A and B are shown apart, each in its own frame.
Chain A
Amino acid sequence: MSIAESLNPDLEGGVLDAGTVPSGGEVASAYTGAAWRLTMRSFFDNRLGLVGLVLLVLLLLFSFIGPFVYHSDTLVANYSINLPPGPGHPLGTDGNGRDILGRLMLGGQASLIIGIASAIVTTIIGTLWGAIAGFFGGAVDTVMMRIVDVLLAIPTIFILLYLQTIYHPTVTLLIATISSVSWLTAARLVRGETLTLRAREFVRAVKVMGGSRWRIVYRHIIPNTVGVVVVQATFTVANAILILATLGFLGFGLEPPAADWGSMLSGGVNYIYDGYWWLIYPAGLLIVLTVLAFNFIGDALRDALEVRLQRR
């Protein structure tokens, strides 16, 4: 039996053409579809996960489809300021006379785009960084992880406020800013996972069959950290939305007249003693619901992707 056969018993003595065998000797797994289905089944069995998914879908519809259904001028300021909910303005107007419901939709777009984009950037950088550091080890690992340690030692809020002060806040800048502080956690997680993976038999087998180190990293290490990465990514989305809300609340959110929920919340706090609840509760509620949705999804994905927690 060839090594390939020993690693893939389903081949049942089949002989692979040497010209088609990749350098690492891998063949496509026959279990991919089944594993995916098992994961999905496990995810959908998780009620909180489903709640999170439904919430997320509703929030996406509210933010991106809502403006097509509910038309309002969300950018032009006027003198109808702080109107309570009523005809024409179901959730009232803000301190600049703009329709709150419309701006919540606008703010939802910004929050979700920035949150998801930050999670993608964070995941890519963090995964690559952690996998490389963990697999190569030695001096490479020491240098790369010390960089992470140093960056982690700098107060996140300081970095965020510094960057937002120096540059004019835009969606792109916010994504870059939030990603710059979020990838560190992902890198540490993936590096830890890689340290356990690199000692596993299948990795040693690839080495024996002449697979290059880079091939091991991108073909075997990274795919096997997908569980950790996906879960971390969902939490990163939630965290990014919270960071955006924090920046907005502190006055470092998107420049007006663009909207983000944190800035809306901050604007409402100015009138907290006036009882203008419509300036505070809707934005606050949407922040909570969005973060909750991603956390529920993240929890459910972790349960689904973690073999030990799966129901078989």
Chain B
Amino acid sequence: MKQITRKRAIALIGTTAAAAMLLAACGSSTSSSSSTTRVTGGTATFAEGPGASPNYIFPLTPPSNFSVDNLAQFQILMYRPLYFFGVGNAAGINYADSIANPPVFSNGNKTVTITLKHYVWSDGEQVTSRDVIFWMNLLKANKTAWAAYVPGAFPDNVVSYSAPNATTVVFQLNQSYNPTWFTYNELSQITPLPIAWDRTSLSQPAPSPTAANLPDTTPSGAVAVYKFLNAQATSLSTYATSPIWAVVDGPWKLSSFTTEGKAVFVPNKSYTGPNKPSLSQFVELPFTADSAEFNVLRSGGGAISFGYIPVSDLSQKSTIESLGYNVTPWIDFGFNYWVVNFNNPAVGPIFKQTYVRQALQHLVDQPAWISTFLKGYAVPSYSPVPLAPANPFADSSSRNNLFPYSVSAAKSLLASHGWKLVNGVMTCESPGTGPTQCGAGIASGATMTFNLQYLSGVTATQQEMAAYQSAAAQAGIKINLSSGTFNQVITNAAPCTPTQASCKWEMENWGGGWEYSPDNYPTGGEIFATGAGSNFGSWNDPTTNTLIQQTHTATNAQASLNAYQDYMARALPVVFQPAANYQISAISKKLRGVTQNAYLNLTPEQWYFVK
């Protein structure tokens, strides 16, 4: 899911225990060990990312809302997924905190059986296999609206699903799949939904879980239910008062919510899972800029229990520590990039040229950006497979910069393909599809002029984009910069077709790239497969599709993952940029039990204050 620059976390497969240990070692421990007295109650406040407030509550999320702020730090507090990822600071599935027991694969990995534990909705109903079926029915009928949809993958690869009893769900798959991939990237997506939501208007009474012929059981009915729930989810002002969203099975329920993004949670007294909340209230606070958050943090007074220090203010670390905070980086398993719109009718044909993307990549000075703007709290991104935390997935292609910073190399690439500097801007003077010509769809006189919108409110991102603009100008590429909030940028960066009015965007940088969750195994299908819901730039490449598919089914998972990342590091479906730590956390020394989940999931139910 998309994340903001504060950032990041992890994904691991069960068969790579060693990697899990590595990742665990890299996780951040935050609590002080000094002995103190635990107190019950209190309000913990968590600082949201700049301009990145929650704005979608329904856990069947569309691309424009598929963000850490919505999934890992908002929805999950109220609506528990089938499988909870992250064991403390370490990677892996946390079966103890999951609604379901470990999946059982049989029939040559073509049948998956899941059994549920005893969980109860806040309306008193038990969480049953019917709730999983409800989610599946909605997904099946509305798959193209779902951010994680990948054509051919979930739910297309599920031939049938059934609930033989109240606690068992059985999936029949269309072929044998790698159990790790299927668990980490497919089952990880499922969130059981209460049958109380199975209706098409608020005026209808909440249906009984045992009722027959509920709307979701037919495709048209499931479409209507999704339409209703999606509409409810876009009405932010009703989140805290809606009878729909009041039915939860997680440890928290929403007490109040403002459209600016301030969310106040109180414990769900009906919660039957482990780790019942000790706090009396958990509050998420919105900020328009990292400097605004830092001002509040630095002012002391405990207004923020769990905040962050912007990289540009790291010199203030000792001051923050003296105010009673532990400062520690929060590292996640993701990579960073900005998207180009291959379907933009004007500049899409330019982006489709590999040499153009290589030229654009040559202008990103990742080592300098990391040392100068990010103060070393980042790693480079050279492919879709992350380098941090340390993991066994990244191979040499992902560890080496195939397109190092070089203005001359960028200019040379363009010049050798029919572009010439005219008034300081590269202009196509040799249209055509020959090896020394501009390429298909590029007209004579077309210029290397692009609009790039980036995340506002984060100093490091602004500095990076200004540096990129300057480097590009030296290569004859004119970049028109503008900024927008996180929610604005991710809304603009939506997959589109050339004829759509919304397809005029050219480059969008929301600052945080991709965090591998709930697609926890970094095979990239959700973001690069043709037609995938989160393939924001509409990258359409048969080779990519084949390589991704092989990572789902191959018996040698690492070999297929290597082939995939080797290809993507050269194909450059996006412009790679440094992957900063999710954030430099500042956690009150009086707040204990905090874990910096590798998948960025928040677990305030485990937090408590000490005297």
Residues of chain A touching chain B, judged by Cβ–Cβ distance below 8 Å, are 75-79, 81, 95-96, 168, 251, 255-257, 269-271, 273-274
Given contacts A96-B466, A270-B313, could you give 9 more A-B pairs where the C-beta distance is less than 8 Å? A76-B473, A81-B372, A96-B467, A168-B480, A168-B482, A255-B480, A256-B465, A270-B310, A273-B315
Q: Is the CB of A274 within 8 A of B467?
A: no
Can you list 19 A-B contacts (CB < 8 A)? A76-B473, A77-B469, A77-B470, A79-B368, A81-B372, A95-B462, A96-B463, A255-B480, A255-B481, A256-B465, A256-B481, A257-B466, A269-B291, A270-B291, A270-B310, A270-B312, A270-B313, A273-B315, A274-B315
Bound-complex Cα distance A85 to B466 (A): 22
B319 beta carbon closer than 8 Å to chain A: yes
B459 beta carbon closer than 8 Å to chain A: yes
CB distance from A239 to the nearest CB of B (A): 25
Residues on A with C-beta less than 8 A from B291 are 269-270
Bound-complex Cα distance A78 to B474 (A): 12
B298 beta carbon closer than 8 Å to chain A: yes
Given contacts A95-B463, A274-B316, contact A255 B372 (CB under 8 A): no
Bound-complex Cα distance A261 to B479 (A): 22
B328 beta carbon closer than 8 Å to chain A: no
CB distance from A162 to the nearest CB of B (A): 14
Bound-complex Cα distance A257 to B469 (A): 8
Q: Which residue of B lies closest to A251 (CB)?
A: B456
Q: Is the CB of A255 within 8 A of B470?
A: no
CB distance from B484 to the nearest CB of A (A): 8
B483 beta carbon closer than 8 Å to chain A: yes
Q: Is the CB of B459 within 8 A of A95?
A: yes
Most buried by A among B368, B456, B470: B470
Residues on A with C-beta less than 8 A from B481 are 255-256
Residues on A with C-beta less than 8 A from B319 are 273
The 3 lowest CB-CB distance pairs between A and B, nearest first, are A77-B466, A77-B470, A96-B466
Bound-complex Cα distance A52 to B433 (A): 63
Main secondary structure, interface of B, reads helix
Q: Which residue of A lies closest to B294 (CB)?
A: A273
CB distance from A171 to the nearest CB of B (A): 14
CB distance from A163 to the nearest CB of B (A): 14
Residues on A with C-beta less than 8 A from B483 are 251
Q: Is the CB of B316 within 8 A of A81?
A: no
Residues on B with C-beta less than 8 A from A273 are 294, 298, 313, 315-316, 319
Most buried by A among B312, B373, B474, B480: B312
**Count of interface residues, chain B, beta-carbon cutoff 8 Å:** 28
CB distance from A21 to the nearest CB of B (A): 57
Q: Is the CB of A77 within 8 A of B463?
A: yes
CB distance from B502 to the nearest CB of A (A): 15
Q: Which residue of B lies closest to A269 (CB)?
A: B291
Q: Which residue of B lies closest to A274 (CB)?
A: B315
Bound-complex Cα distance A79 to B464 (A): 10
Q: Which residue of B lies closest to A169 (CB)?
A: B482
Instruction: Annotate B293-327 by CB proximity to A: 1 below 8 A, 0 otherwise.
Output: 01000100000000000101101100100000000
Bound-complex Cα distance A255 to B454 (A): 12
Q: Which residue of A lies closest to B315 (CB)?
A: A274
Q: Is the CB of A75 within 8 A of B470?
A: yes
Q: Is the CB of A256 within 8 A of B313?
A: no
Bound-complex Cα distance A203 to B317 (A): 73
CB distance from B295 to the nearest CB of A (A): 8
Residues on A with C-beta less than 8 A from B372 are 79, 81
Interface residues of B in 265-316 (CB under 8 A from A): 291, 294, 298, 310, 312-313, 315-316
Residues on A with C-beta less than 8 A from B459 are 95, 270
CB distance from A95 to the nearest CB of B (A): 6
Residues on A with C-beta less than 8 A from B312 are 95, 270-271
Residues on B with C-beta less than 8 A from A168 are 480, 482
Interface residues of B in 455-501 (CB under 8 A from A): 456-457, 459, 462-463, 465-467, 469-470, 473-474, 480-483
Residues on A with C-beta less than 8 A from B313 are 270-271, 273-274
Q: Is the CB of B298 within 8 A of A256?
A: no
Bound-complex Cα distance A44 to B415 (A): 61
CB distance from B453 to the nearest CB of A (A): 10
Q: Which residue of A lies closest to B371 (CB)?
A: A79
Residues on B with C-beta less than 8 A from A76 are 470, 473-474
Bound-complex Cα distance A256 to B454 (A): 12
Residues on B with C-beta less than 8 A from A270 are 291, 310, 312-313, 459
CB distance from A272 to the nearest CB of B (A): 8
Given contacts A168-B480, A255-B481, A255-B482, contact A78 B470 (CB under 8 A): yes
Q: Is the CB of B469 within 8 A of A256?
A: yes
Interface residues of B in 361-392 (CB under 8 A from A): 368, 372-373
Residues on B with C-beta less than 8 A from A78 are 467, 470
Residues on B with C-beta less than 8 A from A79 are 368, 372, 467
Q: Which residue of A lies closest to B316 (CB)?
A: A273
Bound-complex Cα distance A168 to B467 (A): 20
Residues on A with C-beta less than 8 A from B310 are 270
Q: Is the CB of A77 within 8 A of B482?
A: no
Residues on B with C-beta less than 8 A from A271 are 312-313
Bound-complex Cα distance A295 to B294 (A): 36
CB distance from A157 to the nearest CB of B (A): 14
CB distance from A167 to the nearest CB of B (A): 10
Residues on A with C-beta less than 8 A from B373 are 81
Bound-complex Cα distance A251 to B459 (A): 12
CB distance from B398 to the nearest CB of A (A): 25
Bound-complex Cα distance A123 to B576 (A): 50
CB distance from A266 to the nearest CB of B (A): 9
Bound-complex Cα distance A78 to B407 (A): 13
Bound-complex Cα distance A269 to B470 (A): 23
Q: Which residue of A lies closest to B471 (CB)?
A: A77
Q: Which residue of B lies closest to A98 (CB)?
A: B466
Residues on A with C-beta less than 8 A from B473 are 75-76
Bound-complex Cα distance A256 to B483 (A): 10
Bound-complex Cα distance A269 to B291 (A): 8
Bound-complex Cα distance A77 to B469 (A): 8
Residues on A with C-beta less than 8 A from B470 are 75-78, 257
Bound-complex Cα distance A96 to B482 (A): 16
Q: Which residue of A lies closest to B372 (CB)?
A: A79
Q: Which residue of A lies closest to B481 (CB)?
A: A256
Residues on A with C-beta less than 8 A from B315 are 273-274
Residues on B with C-beta less than 8 A from A96 are 462-463, 466-467
CB distance from B315 to the nearest CB of A (A): 5
Instruction: Annotate B593-610 by CB proximity to A: 1 below 8 A, 0 otherwise.
Output: 000000000000000000
Residues on A with C-beta less than 8 A from B466 are 77, 96, 256-257
Residues on A with C-beta less than 8 A from B465 are 256
Residues on A with C-beta less than 8 A from B482 are 168, 255
Bound-complex Cα distance A224 to B478 (A): 50
Residues on A with C-beta less than 8 A from B480 are 168, 255
Bound-complex Cα distance A39 to B483 (A): 48
CB distance from A255 to the nearest CB of B (A): 6
CB distance from B309 to the nearest CB of A (A): 10
Bound-complex Cα distance A298 to B342 (A): 54
Residues on B with C-beta less than 8 A from A274 are 313, 315-316
Bound-complex Cα distance A274 to B294 (A): 12
Bound-complex Cα distance A255 to B463 (A): 14
CB distance from B332 to the nearest CB of A (A): 24
Residues on B with C-beta less than 8 A from A251 are 456-457, 483
Bound-complex Cα distance A95 to B310 (A): 14
Bound-complex Cα distance A257 to B483 (A): 13
Residues on A with C-beta less than 8 A from B474 are 76
Bound-complex Cα distance A255 to B452 (A): 11
Bound-complex Cα distance A120 to B315 (A): 46
Q: Is the CB of B463 within 8 A of A81?
A: yes
Bound-complex Cα distance A257 to B313 (A): 23
CB distance from A224 to the nearest CB of B (A): 46
Bound-complex Cα distance A75 to B472 (A): 12
Bound-complex Cα distance A168 to B449 (A): 15
Residues on B with C-beta less than 8 A from A256 are 462, 465-466, 469, 481
